Amino acid sequence: MSTQFIINDLKASVEGKEILKGINLEIKGGEIHAIMGPNGTGKSTLASALMGHPKYEVTDGTAHLNGEDILEMEVDERARAGMFLAMQYPSEITGVTNADFLRSAINARREEGNEISLIKFIRQMEGKMKELEMNPEFAHRYLNEGFSGGEKKRNEILQMMLLDPKLVILDEIDSGLDIDALRIVSNGVNAMRSEDRGFLVITHYQRLLNYIKPDFVHVMMQGRIVKSGGPELAERLENEGYDWVKEELGIVDETVGQA
């Protein structure tokens, strides 16, 4: 069955303040949707709320992944249902090696007694690390501890590749990446494009979208998607900035704060 992800009128608050004011979006397997927008418009909140970060309270709306409302689920259940969020600021966990963590995450998706064999796991992990041009020693480093920004992002993509999710959210995966790293990370994402996987790519910059070609581009302002279009929309934003969108829609302040 091809993946289908439908967000319907999603509203969410942080500490009682409403940030998302009704998001509607439909992503089908094989599609890449990009969400663009200036700072403070609610892009990252959308990513975190969909994954279930406890700081964000969903006050209204639904989000169905292949017919199941993921908003009813715990964070780990969402993950096992096929959601994956590549984070802007991945946590560091001291004392836990990357390899141990990855293996636990893979096994969390498998029945007890059917855990991945160590050999198979190592082969998979090493293969993907090679694709991402990661130094093999990162397998034995503590999870994200002392990683540079770019290394963390690669590590997020490594996890995505090994966990084989159905709906991938990339939250500013391009921030802090140099051109080489951006190319490597994008290649990793492109290699994962398939009919049964949808992508939601959140970014400030059109630059990323030169590497990861979106099918749809959405602009977020004031906690809503205010404009949608094809790849040409991203190009226009790159060339002309956001002011024309604001003018067109009569928006003075695009951030959520003043709404």
E strand or H helix at 177, and its extent?
none
The pair of structure tokens assigned to 31 is 């599609």
Total of residues contacting other proteins (CB under 8 A)? 31
Name the maximum alpha-carbon separation found in the chain.
59
For residue 252, CA distances in Å to 152, 227, 232 come to 36, 16, 24
Sole binder of other proteins in the list 15, 17, 39, 54 (CB under 8 A): 54
Among 94, 114, 135, 239, binds other proteins (CB under 8 A): 94
Asked if 250 interacts with other proteins (CB under 8 A), we say: no
Cα 41 from Cα 94, distance rounded (Å)? 33
Please identify, among the stretches 9-17, 100-108, 175-183, 187-195, the one whose residues bind other proteins according to the rule CB under 8 A. 100-108
Instruction: Look up tokens 């494009």; give the residue.
Output: 193
Q: Residues 11, 28, 64, 80: which binds other proteins (CB under 8 A)? A: 80
Q: Are strands 167-171 and 198-203 parallel, antiparallel or unpaired?
A: parallel
- Of 1-9, 80-88, 181-189, 232-240: span binding other proteins (CB under 8 A): 80-88
50 vs 226, beta carbon nearer other proteins = 50
Structure tokens at 50: 């969909």
Residue 55 found at the interface with other proteins (CB under 8 A):
yes
Q: What part of residues 101-130 is at the interface with other proteins (CB under 8 A)?
A: 101, 104-105, 108-109, 112
Which of 8, 14, 30, 53 is close enough to bind other proteins by CB under 8 A? 53
Token pair 């096929």 is found at: 82
